[in-house]
């Protein structure tokens, strides 16, 4: 049993799943922070309303953001070639994300430390940028991954990226950016209607039901386009050695218009995942209109998770395809860390992730309850 659990193939598959878990963990937690940021100017008009909105995420955004940082670290440790290629390849896009995310911690922390209207308005815009820009860019990045990224390796396995910033802005990528933005706005609205009281929650619900409908529509529409072969995918054409050395130059890959749907054709029950990705946002849309905040937030979480999982499932076993040198694409079986590192990292994850989830749950429990204008006025300077 231990032998099979810890062989190289199994570990690679586990780490592929964990890569998904990390991305979903990030989108489900930090995603609502970004959604709240993007909604801030629209759902909260007065200063008190804005503080209500900000303080719904005030105590938790910091922990949520660690999912992002952990995502970076875990990709570095488990998929070093992916880490090296994606962040150097999407260089300026990554810089924009970092720029936006740097604004966020300081925005939260500093906004309410001073009175001036201009001071607070500027930080509100910073928080808006810190929410909306990463939400958009992450989607654009996923779109480019689906489309294929122009890169190759030298024979020393030095990654060479051949694209430009504007090359990232192709139609499929922009489309995915919109899906991502709509999805996280829905998620942020679900959180606000769950956690805030008064006009902020009302406006959030109104925005949320629209965003949820748009999410379901865009996602379903994108799925149909891919199903019809409007966007090609990449197919590994050489025999796959699942436990071979991680060297991305040892296989062949070809463009194939049906590649991104082949896993769903081969294993039809997997289609439940994209299906939930459509149905859950629709449920959320209903939940917003009948004001069942708890269920709405749950449906929103489920929708976000399934939309992200769909991308992974359709690409498997490819992780990052190269549009100019398809053979150099990164795949589950040739872009991972060594057997020993995957095993060590899994042990660390099995020990620490339950602990993290445990105390995170405890903190959410302590902070349980709604944030309203009265809470803000009574709390004095112990809130943002």
Partner 1 sequence: MTNPLLVELSRLQFALTAMYHFLFVPLTLGLSVLIAMMETVYVMTGRTIWRDMTKFWGLLFGINFALGVATGITMEFEFGMNWAFYSHYVGDIFGAPLAIEGLMAFFLEATFVGLFFFGWDKLSSRAHLAVTWMVALGSNLSALWILIANGWMQNPVGAAFNPDTMRMEVTDFAAVLFNPTAQAKFVHTVSAGYVCGAAFVPGISAFYLLRGRYIELAKRSFVIAAAFGVASALSVIVLGDESGYTITDNQKMKLAAMEAMWKTEPAPASFTVFGIPDMQAHDTRDAIEIPWVMGLIGTRSIDQQIPGIFDLVQKAEGNIRNGLVAYDALQKLKKNHADAAARADFEKTRGDLGYALLLKRYIENPLQATPQQIHDAAWSTVPSVPSIFFTFRFMVVFGFALLAVFLTSLWYTMREAEAPRWLFKLALFAFPLPWLAAELGWFVAEFGRQPWIIDGVLPTFLATSELGVFNLVLTIVGFTAVYGVLAVVECSLMLHAIKRGPDAVTGETISFADFPTITGAGAVAPAE
Under rule CB under 8 A, residue 17 binds partner 1:
no
Are the C-beta atoms of residues 191 and 31 closer than 8 Å to each other? no
Residues 321 and 329: their CA atoms lie apart, in Å, by: 4
Are the C-beta atoms of residues 228 and 257 closer than 8 Å to each other? no
Under rule CB under 8 A, residue 344 binds partner 1:
yes
Q: Considering the complex, what minimum distance in angstroms separates the CB of residue 376 from partner 1?
A: 7
Residues 234 and 60: their CA atoms lie apart, in Å, by: 39
Select the residue interacting with partner 1 from 112, 180, 209, 235 (CB under 8 A). Answer: 112
CB environment 286-319: b (16+ within 10 A), e (fewer): bbbeeebbeebbbbbbbbbbbbbbbbbbbbbbbb
Tokens of 347: 């042990």
Q: Scanning residues 41 to 80, which ones bind partner 1 (CB under 8 A)?
A: 51, 58-63, 65-66, 68-70, 72-78, 80
Under rule CB under 8 A, residue 353 binds partner 1:
yes
Select the residue interacting with partner 1 from 45, 113, 265, 291 (CB under 8 A). Answer: 113
Give 213's DSSP letter: H
Select the residue interacting with partner 1 from 84, 186, 200, 213 (CB under 8 A). Answer: 84
Q: Considering the complex, what minimum distance in angstroms separates the CB of residue 366 from partner 1?
A: 5
Residues 337 and 320: their CA atoms lie apart, in Å, by: 15
Select the residue interacting with partner 1 from 23, 36, 53, 101 (CB under 8 A). Answer: 101
Select the residue interacting with partner 1 from 5, 92, 224, 255 (CB under 8 A). Answer: 92
Q: Scanning residues 244 to 283, which ones bind partner 1 (CB under 8 A)?
A: 245-247
Select the residue interacting with partner 1 from 118, 158, 239, 268 (CB under 8 A). Answer: 158
Q: Considering the complex, what minimum distance in angstroms separates the CB of residue 118 from partner 1?
A: 13
Using alpha carbons only, give the angle 118, 119, 125 rounded to the nearest 5 degrees. Answer: 85
In the complex with partner 1, the residue whose CB is nearer, 290 or 363, is 363
In the complex with partner 1, the residue whose CB is nearer, 269 or 368, is 368
Select the residue interacting with partner 1 from 6, 42, 83, 227 (CB under 8 A). Answer: 83
Residues 181 and 183: their CA atoms lie apart, in Å, by: 5
Under rule CB under 8 A, residue 358 binds partner 1:
no
Q: Scanning residues 318 to 337, which ones bind partner 1 (CB under 8 A)?
A: 337
Under rule CB under 8 A, residue 40 binds partner 1:
no
Under rule CB under 8 A, residue 238 binds partner 1:
no
CB environment 353-374: b (16+ within 10 A), e (fewer): eeeeeeeeeeeeeeeeeebbbe
Select the residue interacting with partner 1 from 13, 94, 217, 271 (CB under 8 A). Answer: 94
Are the C-beta atoms of residues 40 and 204 closer than 8 Å to each other? no
Under rule CB under 8 A, residue 85 binds partner 1:
yes
Residues 379 and 140: their CA atoms lie apart, in Å, by: 40
Q: Considering the complex, what minimum distance in angstroms separates the CB of residue 303 from partner 1?
A: 25
Number of residues that bind partner 1 (CB under 8 A): 79
49: nearest Cα among 270, 206, 204, 177: 204
User: Which range in 35-43, 204-212, 239-247, 298-306 contacts partner 1 by CB under 8 A?
Assistant: 239-247
Residues 89 and 76: their CA atoms lie apart, in Å, by: 15
End-to-end CA distance of the chain: 51
Under rule CB under 8 A, residue 156 binds partner 1:
yes
Q: Scanning residues 123 to 152, which ones bind partner 1 (CB under 8 A)?
A: none
Q: Considering the complex, what minimum distance in angstroms separates the CB of residue 58 from partner 1?
A: 7
In the complex with partner 1, the residue whose CB is nearer, 263 or 341, is 341
Torsion angle, alpha carbons of 360, 366, 371, 374, to 10: -150
């Amino acid at each position: 049993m231990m032998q099979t659990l810890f062989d190289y193939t199994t570990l690679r598959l586990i780490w592929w799943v964990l890569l998904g878990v990390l991305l979903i963990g990030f989108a489900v937690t930090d995603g609502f922070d970004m959604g709240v940021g993007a909604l801030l100017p629209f759902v909260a008009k007065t200063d008190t309303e804005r503080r209500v909105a900000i303080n719904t995420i005030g105590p938790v955004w910091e922990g949520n953001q660690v999912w992002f940082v952990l995502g970076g670290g875990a990709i570095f440790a488990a998929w070093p070639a992916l880490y090296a290629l994606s962040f150097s390849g999407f260089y300026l896009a990554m810089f924009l994300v970092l720029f936006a995310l740097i604004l966020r911690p300081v925005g939260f922390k500093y906004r309410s430390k001073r009175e001036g209207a201009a001071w607070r308005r500027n930080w509100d815009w910073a928080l808006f940028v810190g929410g909306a820009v990463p939400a958009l860019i992450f989607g654009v990045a996923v779109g480019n991954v689906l489309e294929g990224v122009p890169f190759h390796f030298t024979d020393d396995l030095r990654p060479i990226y051949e694209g430009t910033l504007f090359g990232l802005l192709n139609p499929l990528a922009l489309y995915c950016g919109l899906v991502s933005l709509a999805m996280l706005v829905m998620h942020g609205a679900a959180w606000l209607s769950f956690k805030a009281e008064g006009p902020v929650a009302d406006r959030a619900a109104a925005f949320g039901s629209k965003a949820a409908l748009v999410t379901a529509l865009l996602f379903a529409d994108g799925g149909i386009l891919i199903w019809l072969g409007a966007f090609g995918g990449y197919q590994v054409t050489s025999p796959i050695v699942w436990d071979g050395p991680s060297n991305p130059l040892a296989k062949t890959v070809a463009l194939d218009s049906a590649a991104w749907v082949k896993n769903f054709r081969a294993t039809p029950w997997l289609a439940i995942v994209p299906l939930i990705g459509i149905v859950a946002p629709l449920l959320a849309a209903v939940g917003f209109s009948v004001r069942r905040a708890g269920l709405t937030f749950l449906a929103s979480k489920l929708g976000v998770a399934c939309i992200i999982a769909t991308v992974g499932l359709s690409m498997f076993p490819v992780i990052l395809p190269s549009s100019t040198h398809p053979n150099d694409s990164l795949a589950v079986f040739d872009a991972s860390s060594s057997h020993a590192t995957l095993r060590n990292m899994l042990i660390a994850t099995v020990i620490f992730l339950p602990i993290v989830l445990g105390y995170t749950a405890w903190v959410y429990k302590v902070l349980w309850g709604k944030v309203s204008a009265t809470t803000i006025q009574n709390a004095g300077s112990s809130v943002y």
